[in-house]
Amino acid sequence: MWPNGSSAGPCFRPSNLTAEERRLIASPWFAASFCLAGLASNLLALGVLAGARQGGSHARSSFLTLLCGLVLTDFMGLLVTGAIVVAQHAALLDWRAADPGCRLCQFMGVVMVFFGLCPLLLGAAMASERHLGITRPFSRPAASSRRRAWATVALVWAAALALGLLPLLGVGRYTVQYPGSWCFLTLGAQPGDVAFGLLFTLLGSLSVGLSFLLNTISVATLCHVYHGQEAAQQRPRDCEVEMMAQLTGIMVVASICWMPLLVFIAQTVLRSPPAMSPTGQLSRATEQQLLIYLRVATWNQILDPWVYILFRRAVIRRLHPRLSARPRSLSLQPQLTQRRPVP
């Protein structure tokens, strides 16, 4: 409960929004259009993925399974959070009337953290899978690649859910955010708020950093093989180039969309003097910045499927016809047997 003498639930903070401003921005059409565009993009990507997963190598099957988990997570995230946001806009942003006990707010806070972290963690998992597939292709049994990939997706979901449940256990708080259509972690100065905000920021930033490091090594390895002395025998297969192009695109999109929000959260909870007053009030500028950075982060769920759709081999070959004309090989590794010279 905030120390403001209000009998409202613990998720409600003092608002800077007047009734007239709430009425002017309460139209649900923008939020609904944004959500529908994202859902359509992810459905299209899932349809393309369903066809691509039939057949192919074990390495590609594992990568596509992780990618399928990413697109499915993005789709569910847009569906759940979008439905709540559109409903609150339709209710004229009056969260107190719709959810006086803050149960819906707690639920939305959990899913916001869950669906926010999952793409970053899955991106790191995909980078790790491709790093091992390129640098150590024979280190894992191929028969269980798809099963292991789904186990990785489940582990990522469990880790993100565990973090999202921490405020329900007393570490941090979920509160209604400006303009009253969504709930998220609290940017307060209390130890629990600071710890949860920094933990969320740290985990997200480490995922992006790990993806960058492993993808850089993988791309450097592919370039070394492509331009090496035995390039004619060891050139990467088209699918290796395709997967790295898609993974690099996913990493770039995640970095651009999420890093501003993660940096802003860390800066705000560590600010001195605190950005939030003892009664739980943030300045209008801070609330608007948080909303802008959140909307930028949401674009990650819309752009992820288009990275896969546009960075497929068919599209890459149209942009770079030489890729379809070069010789292919069966492995990135050196030939296991050398041909003896003919006497």
Dump pLDDT digits (tens) for 23-44. Answer: 777 778 888 999 999 999 999 9
* CA 116 – CA 136 distance, rounded (Å): 31
Q: Is residue 12 part of a domain?
A: no
Distance of CA 163 to the CA centre of its chain: 15
Which of 257-266, 273-282, 305-314 is least confident?
305-314
Q: Is residue 313 part of a domain?
A: yes
Q: Is residue 330 part of a domain?
A: no
* CA 298 – CA 38 distance, rounded (Å): 9
* Domain span including residue 159: 25-136+149-318
Terminal Cα distance for the chain, rounded: 89
Q: What is the pTM of this model?
A: 0.87
Cα angle 272, 276, 116 (rounded to 5 degrees) comes to: 100
* CA 222 – CA 147 distance, rounded (Å): 26
Supply the pLDDT for residue 207: 96
Residue 19 in this model has a pLDDT that exceeds 80: no
Q: If you average pLDDT over each of 16-25, 29-38, 236-245, 256-265, which comes out highest?
A: 256-265
Q: Is residue 125 part of a domain?
A: yes
Q: Is residue 339 part of a domain?
A: no
Q: Is residue 103 part of a domain?
A: yes
Q: Is residue 11 part of a domain?
A: no
Q: Is residue 211 part of a domain?
A: yes
**Count of the separate structural domains present in the chain:** 1
Please tell me which residue, 244 or 86, carries the higher pLDDT value: 86
Q: Is 123:207 a contact under the CB 8 Å cutoff?
A: yes
Residue 90 belongs to a domain with what CATH number?
1.20.1070.10
271 pLDDT tier (thresholds 50, 70, 90): very high
